[in-house]
Amino acid sequence: MGASAQAPTREATLTLLLRQGEISAAALAEELGISVQAMRRHLRTLEEEGLVEASPIAAGPGRPSNQWRLTQQGHQHFPDGSDTFALNLLESMAASLPPETLATLLDQQAQDKARQYRHQLGDGPLEQRISRLVSLRSQEGYVSEMVPAENGCGWCVNEFHCSVQRIAEEFPAVCDQELRLIRMTFPDCQVERVHWRLESGHSCGFQISPSRTSSSHFEDFHSGISP
C-alpha cells in the first residue's frame, strides 16, 4: 500500500478509535474495508509512534484478543481548541484588567507551577532534576532536550516546540513568565535565556548553571524565606 493510501487509513483508524473507545483489529479492518493483516501492520506502526496501545481480552478458548485504544498522546492528535480558549481569555483579561493585575496573575501561575515542578523533581543532583524537568515538559507538549552548556557551566534545556506558541505570539509576557518559572523551579541555580524562538531561530533555550550560593538559597526557598 502506497503512502497516499496509508495516510487516509491512518487518520480513519485514529478517528474510529476515538469514536469507539476500544476495538479489535478485526473490527477495525471490517469498518475500513482492508485485510486484518494490513490493519495489524497499521496498528503496530501507530503503537511505535505512541498513539495507540493494546490490552489482551479473553474471548473464549484460545489466545486472548487484543483490544486497541488511543493513548493520551493519541487523543492529543486531535485539536481541542484549548489554546484558542486560553488566548481569548487572556485577551479579555488584558482588556478589562490593569496591566499590573494581569502581570500579578501570570506571576502567581508561574509560582504555582514552579512549586509543582519542584515537588516532582525532588532534591537530587542538578543533572538529575534537569533531566526530570525535560521529561515533564515533553509530556506537556514541549519537545525538549538537555545538552551540556557551551561554556561548560551547567546545562542548556532546548525546546523545539512550544505548547503555548500561539499565546506567546500575542502576549510575549508569557515568555517572561516561562523564564521566571524555570528560575523558581531551580532557586539554587543561575537561569538565563540563551535563545528565543520569537526573536530568531527555531527553538527556545534556557541555560541552568549551579549558583555559588546555591545551598543557602535552596534551603531558604523551600522553607518559604525570600532569598
Please tell me the total number of residues recorded for the chain in this structure. 227
Strand partners, 54: 68
3-76 and 100-222: same fold?
A: no
Question: Chain-wide mean pLDDT for the chain?
Answer: 84
* Cα–Cα distance, 203 to 224 (Å, whole number): 33
Q: Residue range 103-121: average pLDDT?
A: 94
Question: Helices 99-121 and 126-139, interaxial angle, to 10°?
Answer: 120
CATH architecture of 100-222: 2-Layer Sandwich (3.30)
pTM of the model: 0.58
Question: Any idea what DSSP says for residue 64?
Answer: P
Q: Please, which residues have CB within 8 angstroms of residue 4's CB and are 6 or more apart in sequence?
A: none
In terms of Cα–Cα distance, which of 153, 96, 105, 101 is closest to 127? 153
Residue with cell 561554556: 151
Least confident of 55-64, 125-134, 170-179, 212-221: 212-221
What integer pLDDT is reported at residue 7 of this predicted model?
A: 64
- Tell which CATH classification among 1.10.3720.10, 1.10.150.20, 3.40.50.880, 1.10.10.10 matches the domain 3-76: 1.10.10.10
Q: Residue range 80-106: average pLDDT?
A: 85
The three cell numbers of residue 123 are 532534591
Taking 80 as the threshold, does the pLDDT of residue 161 lie above it? no
> Domain-by-domain residue ranges, the chain?
3-76, 100-222
Question: Any idea what DSSP says for residue 62?
Answer: S
Taking 70 as the threshold, does the pLDDT of residue 217 lie above it? no
Of the two residues 189 and 87, the one the predictor is more confident about is 189
Per-residue pLDDT band at 223 (split at 50, 70, 90):
very low
Q: Do 197 and 162 meet the contact criterion of CB atoms below 8 Å apart?
A: yes
Q: Residue range 39-45: average pLDDT?
A: 94
Taking 90 as the threshold, does the pLDDT of residue 224 lie above it? no
